[in-house]
Amino acid sequence: MTVIDLVPQGGVAVRAERGVIPGLSLLCASLLLGASGCAIQERYPEVPPGERTLSAQEGYRYEIGPGDTVNIFVWGLEELSASVPVRPDGMLTTPLIEDVPASGKTPSQLARDLEQRFATYVRSPLVTVIVNGFVGLPSQQVRVVGEATTPAAVPFRKHMTLLDLIIQVGGLTDFAAGNRAVLVRYSAGAQRSYSVRLDDLIRKGDISANLSLLPGDILIIPEAWF
């Protein structure tokens, strides 16, 4: 008698004994594996309708993050205007002011903060901040891990959809189990996981599988077993 341990994705082991009725137990094991795979896929619900459309992105505002480059323009004072990077500690330095907290602020918020700092030296300064080289906060990036052609952390942008993200990371590998992909989303202080159908979207052109993304989303694409 031969004993074969089969371990599907998810870590559930199925032991098949072959010898009493040749092939029968192995067939049963295969069916069990298929059922287990379905259970893994159906463990997560689909993204709720209210979070699938672009309206879910209303109210989004870009927040400056480490690695961004900001152009600071002080009206009428070119010597105070500069293009400066946001350091890894989230601070920046202008020609006149050192260690200004920038990370986590919108460009408008940073401009108002700089006006208060410059007011010590300049009467009624008017500051405009323009962001270049967007990186953003980690909480405002969208990450793709697993069987994408180029897994990456991608800066979120308004109106970004699942299809846009897959195009940006170069599509799926030949070994991707796209319809078993999982979208991890943080909402209202809680983490939730949802099933997404990447094979249907990318390989079958089923646009109903597309959905709106939100800042901080994580897309996990598992590898197919066969």
If pLDDT is split at 50, 70 and 90, which confidence band does 9 have?
Answer: very low
The token pair at 100 is 């200004």
Q: Are residues 110 and 156 in the same domain?
A: no
Looking at residue 212, its amino acid is S
pLDDT tens per residue, range 157-166: 999 999 999 9
Q: Are residues 128 and 142 in the same domain?
A: no
For residue 210, pLDDT over 70 is answered with: yes
Number of domains, the chain:
3
Across residues 161-188, what is the average pLDDT?
Answer: 94
pTM (two decimals): 0.73
Q: Are residues 149 and 216 in the same domain?
A: yes
Q: For the stretch 192-223, what's the b/e string if a residue is b when 16 or more beta carbons lie within 10 angstroms of its beta carbon?
A: eebbbbbbbbbeeeeeebbbbbbbbbbbbbbe
> What's the CATH number where 79 sits?
3.30.1950.10
The token pair at 135 is 């990186």
Across residues 52-64, what is the average pLDDT?
Answer: 91
If pLDDT is split at 50, 70 and 90, which confidence band does 95 have?
Answer: confident
In a domain, 64, yes or no: no
Domain residues for the domain of 193 are 45-59+138-221
> What's the CATH number where 176 sits?
3.10.560.10
Q: Are residues 161 and 210 in the same domain?
A: yes
Determine the Cα–Cα distance for residues 14 and 122; give it in Å rounded to an integer: 75
